[in-house]
Structure 1
Amino acid sequence: MKGLLASLLAPLLALMLLPGAANAQMRALSDTELSTVSGQGLFTVGNSSYNGFDFTRISLDADVTLNANLANMRLGEYNYAPRNGTGADLDIGALQFGRTDGTAAQRLVQITNPYFEFVYKNTGVNNQREMVGMRLGFDGISGDVGMKIATLSGSMRIDAGAGGIIDSMNDAGGGKRWDGTCAGCTPLSSVGGVTAGDANGPSRDFWISILKTPVQFQAGSGMPALTEAQAGIWLNWRDKLTALNLTGTVPVNNATGH
């Protein structure tokens, strides 16, 4: 997969398209039988407005367990010399959901309610709207995620323990095309992965956006205000992230997927 968004979406689509292990013949139900049946749709659609933008969210109303290895992802490349990093909004050499060098529980990452959200803005002409972008995110993510990030455009915060707090928003460029270094902090390249979530629950603010203009997304219930997402590719991930190590070593993941 060349694109990070496509790579993240592919395992989720595969789960929905897998055939069932058993076949059943359809039959009509009486009104009495139907009255005792309840169900829930696989997808939910919701509309909202915030800070001058309209949003349409399509959610996969499900919990997903994921084990996947993604590599060599570059998004938002620029022809001019970068302020920092390699000239891309996101340059990620490795992103691993789950690991095989730990316990059985560490092999899988738990993802709650994946979603797409499309962003619109009124043009001011005949009450027409234009799409300004979209984002892909998860309501919750728990587990070990290995990573090697050369350049990051986004708002990321990692608790590195003795290494202090690694925060892209402390960079002079406000997180845009950050190369992972900052005065007096542990460089992002020293982190080989993160544990998402803790005893209080999952990490709740992972999303990646593609935008033509900066957008302020609304924070979830009980969450602090989000950093305004900038134009281009933007990654947001700050809630309950703890560094796995400060040696830059990505955990082993030999599994092919789940």
Structure 2
Amino acid sequence: MNASILMAALAAALFAAGAAQAQLHPMSDEELSHTRGQGLIALSNTRLGGFDFTRIALDADVTLNANLRSMRLGDYRYAAREGMGADIDIAHLQFGRSDGSAAQRLVQIGNPYFEFVYRDSGNAAAPREAVGMRFGFDSISGDIGMKINTLSGSLRVEGKAADGSAIALDSRSDALGGKRWDGSCSAPCMNFTQLGAVRAGDASGPSRDFWVSMLKTGVQFPAPPGTNQLPDMAQAGMWMNWRDKLSAINATGALPPNLPPGR
């Protein structure tokens, strides 16, 4: 699955997830005077570190159940670490699960967005240069199954070993900063083989820093809404960021089922 197909698949799933039917009715001036509204699409612009960011957000809360398989993004040669030959190689990414409660079938997503990145080009004829884009969510909570082969990104998942001791999967332990990381680490830790699913969010609120970027140069993105903590700098190529409030559902690598109702 290439990057453009991934973005299109997630966008289609999000819009389909919130499908509804409505019928238009005329409103009187009196009714209109007592009505307030806001557009479904929100546009905003920010600037940081010489980069301009234009965000187009779906200003809505969405519930999602979806299965994505064989995601292979950023397939090109990278001499420093060829690895699996791609920046991101994820065998399974499942939003929701079918072996728990009805609520666990769905993942809650807030304000999904696309954000485009530009910088000054130094060319008066074309003053702005497109650097890339990212797709993400302002918030996400629920159970997500994932089997990762290779990851370029900043990822941290808290977990527990068989003896109950705390362990973690953290890309910051990688010598190359998380570029085409295979999850290897020095014990005690959690690796990709042990990771089968995560729970996003906790009692204090949802996870707030999930996004995937596609860039031709490294970019420092702004802090997520409601925080002052800047994310790790995204490297060129495909890059996934997800560190906030993630806990492993198990440390055995078991992938929860996510089957349609009745199966």
2-side partners of 1:75 and 1:55: how far apart?
23
Structure 2 alignment gaps of length 5 or more:
none
Deviations 1:179-235 (A, max 9, x none): 111122221221101000000000000000000110000112324221000000000
Q: What SS class does the counterpart of residue 176 from structure 1 fall into?
A: coil
Specify the code of the residue in structure 2 equivalent to 1:238.
Answer: R
Range with bigger deviation, 119-128 or 108-117: 119-128
Q: Partner of 1:164 in structure 2?
A: 167
Aligned ranges 1:131-170 → 2 under 5 Å: 131-161=130-160, 162=165, 164-170=167-173
2-side partners of 1:14 and 1:119: how far apart?
27
TM-score computed with the length of structure 1 as normaliser: 0.92
CA 1:169–1:84: 2 relative to 1, 3 Å: farther
Q: Partner of 2:244 in structure 1?
A: 239
Q: Partner of 2:129 in structure 1?
A: 130
CA 1:131–1:80: 2 relative to 1, 3 Å: closer
Q: Is the 8 A contact 1:67 1:255 kept in 2?
A: no
CA 1:222–1:140: 2 relative to 1, 3 Å: same
Q: Partner of 2:259 in structure 1?
A: 254
Aligned ranges 1:89-108 → 2 under 5 Å: 89-108=87-106
Q: Is the 8 A contact 2:17 2:64 kept in 1?
A: no
Q: After the TM superposition, which parts of structure 1 deviate over 6 Å for at least 4 consecutive aligned residues?
A: none
Q: What SS class does the counterpart of residue 97 from structure 2 fall into?
A: coil
Q: Is the 8 A contact 1:85 1:150 kept in 2?
A: no
Aligned-residue RMSD, C-alpha: 1.8
Please state if 1:176 is matched with 2:176: no
Q: Is the 8 A contact 2:17 2:63 kept in 1?
A: no
Specify the code of the residue in structure 2 equivalent to 1:232.
Answer: G
2-side partners of 1:38 and 1:252: how far apart?
43
1-side partners of 2:78 and 2:44: how far apart?
39
Cα offset, 1:247, TM superposition:
1.0
Q: Is the 8 A contact 1:44 1:59 kept in 2?
A: yes
Please state if 1:195 is matched with 2:193: no
CA 1:246–1:85: 2 relative to 1, 3 Å: farther
Cα offset, 1:130, TM superposition:
1.1
2-side partners of 1:85 and 1:189: how far apart?
16
Specify the code of the residue in structure 1 equivalent to 2:238.
Answer: I
Deviations 1:114-162 (A, max 9, x none): 0000000001122710110000010000000000000000000000123
2-side partners of 1:123 and 1:79: how far apart?
27
2-side partners of 1:244 and 1:223: how far apart?
28
2-side partners of 1:156 and 1:43: how far apart?
29
Aligned ranges 1:14-163 → 2 under 5 Å: 14-15=16-17, 18=19, 20=21, 23-24=23-24, 26-27=25-26, 29-79=27-77, 83=81, 85-126=83-124, 128-161=127-160, 162=165
1-side partners of 2:99 and 2:258: how far apart?
7
Size of the alignment, in residue pairs?
A: 252
1-side partners of 2:52 and 2:152: how far apart?
24
- Aligned-residue sequence identity (percent) comes to 59
